[in-house]
Amino acid sequence: MKHELVLVLDFGGQYNQLIARRVRECGVYCEVKPYTTPLSELKAMNPIGIIFTGGPNSVYLNTSPQVDPEIFTWGIPILGICYGCQLMAHSLGGLVTPAQEDTAREYGKTTTYYDTSCKLFAGLPAEGISWMSHGDYMAKVPQGFALVGHTEMCPNAAIADESRGFYGVQYHPEVNHTEHGVAMIRNFLYEACHAKGDWTMGDYCKSAIAAVREKVGDGKVLLALSGGVDSSVAAALLAEAVGKQLTCVFVDHGLMRLNEGDEVEAAFSKWDINFVRVDAETRFLLKLAGESDPETKRKIIGEEFIRVFEEESKKIGAVDFLAQGTIYPDVIESGAGDAETIKSHHNVGGLPDFVDFKDIIEPLRMLFKDEVRQLGRELGLPEYLVSRQPFPGPGLAIRIIGDITKEKADTLRLADFIFREEIAKAGEDKNLNQYFAVLTNTRSVGVMGDGRTYDYTLALRAVTTADFMTADWARIPYDVLDKISVRIVNEVPGINRIVYDITSKPPATIEWE
Ligand code: XMP
């Protein structure tokens, strides 16, 4: 099924993916393209509207990203955001200059007044907070444009030429700080672009299954299943599409969380696929024995994983497709919107060299993380898999500080399970983006019953974050922490002290190693 499409033209702003997500949240399919994409290519995609993103540059510099001026005679609605707004003004004969100190340079939350007779603000309050982040100023707007939004400092916070379907906003409607920002994007889509809103996960699921069937034919597909959200949803989609033609290899390196391996296996038992679970705990622990450097641990696990996968795939023989759970944020270029900077992301580095296959299949390539979760639900995967918090590939290996033994892994597994169980019981899991226990390498004196103990200190880590690049430590209520602490020291042998990590990222990282 062909969906109506809106294109986000990327000028290197930090919120570009967020813009695309917002558009999809409004029920319209959307793709991000670098600003360098030739106009003929954009036209061939037949979009119903285009959004120019923000970006770090100033439009009046020669070196700044520009667009083919013919984009403005194409007859397609355009919404310019921040740099995108200034670019539109600059390209159409307006004047953009550096803002003078104290005048129109604006950063942060700003009270903004809107002209609600403009389609962009139809049905919305005439006043609200918007999120500004611009050092340039539109000294003169192009002919044909009306001023449809202003702040105390800036007479042209929003401009529009409704006859041509051109809209520009200096602020960022895509961020949560802008009140009614998503409603403005929705207005652009439905009022200016006349979208019907045909992007639903149910439809997408059906068309994705059909597309996989067509591509795979009667070929064989191999997938490395980690138990994380992306590879699990990719596996479920392929299972639904091609059943027995799919082989999933699930390598259990012995550093998973409690019951994780069984949960993953159980989730896939409803499909008739070839599910290979490799219990490789012994060989991983043997390779890791005595090693305490975090990066070396990661390297050992990565290499051993490839070796195990290679052995298993040799048993299976030649396959036609190697499937991967690559998702859209991995595909969109990071940074300045130049085509060359697109990352080629492989969930399991190096695999394609080892497996004899004809083509790669990436069924989640166009989906954002929250859409992947939605698709997983659509496919009937259990909620514990679909809403699972991120878990690093090396697993508990990087949460056991120092060298790793099976005993330490078992200790940490149980403590981590209790932590997660109590967090869920208290309903705190909804407020946290990642939370786990760390077995520190420190032992200290304690007293239990009448005896002296000399046992390990366990650290609890819980963070809130939007993107995992920065994070804040979570304010878990003291009584919840107390309950967790009492349970762990009582139920987990070898631990006599619990500490809570109250460091943000930066300067710390989320993981301890
Ligand atoms: P840091 O510790 O860098 O973590 O603040 C940011 C996010 O990345 C995850 N992480 C990893 N994921 N392999 C992975 O697959 C790794 O080696 C690894 N190290 C950190 C971490 O769990 C957090 O979500």
Quick: pLDDT tens for 116-152.
999 999 999 999 999 987 778 888 999 999 999 999 9
Distance 392 CA to ligand 1 centre (A): 5
Mean pLDDT for 468-483 is: 95
In whole angstroms, give the CA distance from residue 267 to residue 381: 6
* Ligand 1 atom 7: residue of nearest CA: 468
| pLDDT value for 192 | 98
Is the pLDDT score of 268 beyond 80? yes
In this structure, the strands spanning 106-114 and 127-134 are antiparallel
User: Taking the model in full, what pTM does it have?
Assistant: 0.82
Q: 201 CB contacts (<8 Å, ≥6 apart)?
A: 371, 374, 375, 378
With residue 111 as reference, give the H or E element that holds it.
strand 106-114
Q: Three-class SS of residue 81?
A: strand
Are 305 and 348 contacting, i.e. CB atoms less than 8 angstroms apart? yes
Give yes or no: 345 in active site: no
pLDDT (tens digit, 9 = 90+) per residue, 443-468? 999 998 889 999 999 999 999 998 78
Q: Label residue 473 by pLDDT band (50, 70, 90).
A: very high
Which of 255, 389, 510 to mutate to test ligand 1, by most ligand atoms within 8 A of the CB atom?
Answer: 510
User: How many CB atoms are closer than 10 A to CB 164?
Assistant: 16
Give yes or no: 150 in active site: no
Q: Which ligand 1 atom sits nearest the alpha carbon of residue 508? A: 5
Share of the chain above pLDDT 70, in %: 94
Q: Which ligand 1 atom sits nearest the alpha carbon of residue 434? A: 24
Q: Label residue 45 by pLDDT band (50, 70, 90).
A: very high
Q: Tell me which residue has tokens 């004899």.
A: 356
* Ligand 1 atom 18: residue of nearest CA: 392
Q: Label residue 238 by pLDDT band (50, 70, 90).
A: very high
Is the pLDDT score of 345 beyond 50? no
| pLDDT value for 136 | 85
Distance 510 CA to ligand 1 centre (A): 7
| pLDDT value for 126 | 97
Are 368 and 17 contacting, i.e. CB atoms less than 8 angstroms apart? yes
Is the pLDDT score of 318 beyond 70? yes
In this structure, the strands spanning 321-323 and 359-361 are parallel
Give yes or no: 172 in active site: yes
Angle value at C-alpha 261, between 258 and 264, nearest 5 degrees: 120
pLDDT (tens digit, 9 = 90+) per residue, 3-16? 899 999 999 988 88
Q: Three-class SS of residue 271?
A: coil
Is the pLDDT score of 80 beyond 60? yes
In whole angstroms, give the CA distance from residue 189 to residue 201: 19
Is the pLDDT score of 354 beyond 70? no
Lowest mean pLDDT among 85-89, 469-473, 493-497: 469-473
In whole angstroms, give the CA distance from residue 92 to residue 400: 59
Distance 438 CA to ligand 1 centre (A): 14
| pLDDT value for 450 | 85
Are 32 and 330 contacting, i.e. CB atoms less than 8 angstroms apart? no
**Residue 15 token pair:** 């919120």
Are 410 and 270 contacting, i.e. CB atoms less than 8 angstroms apart? no
Instruction: Please name every residue paired with 284 in a beta bridge, in sequence order, or none if there are none.
Output: none
Distance 204 CA to ligand 1 centre (A): 30
Which of 433, 468, 504, 513 to mutate to test ligand 1, by most ligand atoms within 8 A of the CB atom?
Answer: 468
Q: Is 333 left (phi over 0), alpha (psi -120 to 50) or beta?
A: beta
In this structure, the strands spanning 146-150 and 158-161 are antiparallel
For 137-156, the DSSP string reads: EEEEPPTT-EEEEE-SS-TT
Distance 506 CA to ligand 1 centre (A): 14
Q: Label residue 343 by pLDDT band (50, 70, 90).
A: very low
Q: Which ligand 1 atom sits nearest the alpha carbon of residue 393? A: 15
Q: Choose the catalytic residue: 134, 172, 180, 253.
A: 172
> Which domains are delineated in the chain?
5-192 (3.40.50.880), 201-386 (3.40.50.620), 399-500 (3.30.300.10)
| pLDDT value for 109 | 87
Is the pLDDT score of 97 beyond 80? yes
Exposure string of 58-75, with b = 16+ CB inside 10 Å and e = fewer, is bbeeeebbebeeebbeee
Instruction: Please name every residue paired with 247 in a beta bridge, in sequence order, or none if there are none.
Output: 222, 274
Q: Label residue 397 by pLDDT band (50, 70, 90).
A: very high
Mean pLDDT for 389-411 is: 96
Are 411 and 488 contacting, i.e. CB atoms less than 8 angstroms apart? no
In whole angstroms, give the CA distance from residue 189 to residue 472: 35
Q: Label residue 342 by pLDDT band (50, 70, 90).
A: very low
| pLDDT value for 347 | 39
Distance 276 CA to ligand 1 centre (A): 26
Q: Distance between the two ends of the chain, CA-based, in angstroms?
A: 46
* Cis upstream peptide for 507 (omega within 30°): yes
| pLDDT value for 140 | 92
With residue 90 as reference, give the H or E element that holds it.
helix 83-91
Q: Tell me which residue has tokens 């393209």.
A: 33
Pocket lining for ligand 1, CB < 6 angstroms: 298, 390, 392-394, 434, 468, 505, 509-511
In whole angstroms, give the CA distance from residue 107 to residue 430: 31
Q: Label residue 102 by pLDDT band (50, 70, 90).
A: low
Distance 83 CA to ligand 1 centre (A): 32
Q: Label residue 218 by pLDDT band (50, 70, 90).
A: very high
| pLDDT value for 358 | 87
Lowest mean pLDDT among 62-76, 309-323, 369-383: 309-323
Query: Average pLDDT, whole number, for the chain?
Result: 92
Which of 435, 511, 512 to mutate to test ligand 1, by most ligand atoms within 8 A of the CB atom?
Answer: 511
Distance 298 CA to ligand 1 centre (A): 11
Which of 3, 7, 371 is closest to 188 using CA atoms?
A: 7
The winner for highest mean pLDDT among 71-75, 175-179, 323-327, 464-468 is 71-75
Choice between 343 and 318, residue whose per-residue pLDDT is larger: 318
| pLDDT value for 351 | 54
Q: Choose the catalytic residue: 174, 179, 333, 362.
A: 174
Q: 199 CB contacts (<8 Å, ≥6 apart)?
A: 3, 4, 24, 27, 28, 29
Are 461 and 481 contacting, i.e. CB atoms less than 8 angstroms apart? no
Q: Choose the catalytic residue: 30, 82, 85, 154.
A: 82
pLDDT (tens digit, 9 = 90+) per residue, 138-189? 889 999 999 999 999 889 999 999 999 999 999 999 998 899 999 999 999 9
Q: 62 CB contacts (<8 Å, ≥6 apart)?
A: none
* Ligand 1 atom 24: residue of nearest CA: 390
Fill in the amino acid letter for 47: P
| pLDDT value for 232 | 97
| pLDDT value for 340 | 36
